[in-house]
Amino acid sequence: MYVRAAAALASVTGSVVIGVLVLPTAAQAAGKHGGPVVIAHRGASAYAPENTLEAIDEADDLDATWVENDVQRTKDGALVIIHDTTLNRTTNVEELYPDRAPWNVRDFTAREIAKLDAGSWKGEEFTGERVPTLHEYLRRVDHNHQKLLMEIKSPELYPGIEAQILRQLRKDGWLRYDHVTRRLVVQSFSADSMRTMHELRPDIKTGFLGTPAVTDLPEYAAFVDQINPSNTTISADYVRAVHAVRGAHKEPLEVNTWTVNDAATAQRVAALGVDGIITNAPDVVREAVED
Ligand code: G3P
Ligand code: CA
pLDDT given at position 26: 41
Å from CA of 6 to ligand 1 middle:
34
- The finding on whether 68 has its CB within 6 A of some atom of ligand 1 is yes
Å from CA of 61 to ligand 1 middle:
22
Of 38, 151, 261, the residue with max ligand 1 atoms within 8 A of its CB, to mutate for a pocket test, comes to 151
* Ordered DSSP codes for 211-247: ---GGGHHHHHTT-SEEE-BGGG--HHHHHHHHTSB-
Q: What band does 28 get if pLDDT is binned at 50, 70 and 90?
A: very low
Which residue's alpha carbon is nearest to atom 10 within ligand 1?
83
Å from CA of 14 to ligand 1 middle:
31
Question: Which residue from 22, 24, 10, 21 is spatially nearest to 226, judged by alpha carbons?
Answer: 24
Positive or negative: CA dihedral 9, 222, 252, 173: positive
pTM: 0.89
* Cα gap 233→95, rounded to integer Å: 39
User: 167 and 157 in contact (C-beta within 8 Å)?
Assistant: no
Q: Which atom of ligand 1 is nearest to the CA of 187?
A: 1
* Length in residues, the chain: 291
Which residue's alpha carbon is nearest to atom 7 within ligand 1?
83
Distance, C-alpha 231 to centroid of its chain: 16
Question: Alpha helix locations (H) across 120-231?
Answer: 134-143, 161-171, 177-182, 191-200, 217-221
Q: What band does 276 get if pLDDT is binned at 50, 70 and 90?
A: very high
Q: Is the pLDDT of residue 8 over 80?
A: no
Looking at the annotation, which residues are catalytic? 41, 83
2-77+134-289 belongs to CATH 3.20.20.190: yes
pLDDT given at position 136: 98
pLDDT given at position 3: 34
Taking the domains of the chain in order of start, what are their residue ranges? 2-77+134-289
Measured N-to-C along each axis, helices 161-171 and 134-143 cross at an angle, to the nearest 10 degrees, of 40
User: 289 and 50 in contact (C-beta within 8 Å)?
Assistant: no
- The finding on whether 84 has its CB within 6 A of some atom of ligand 1 is no
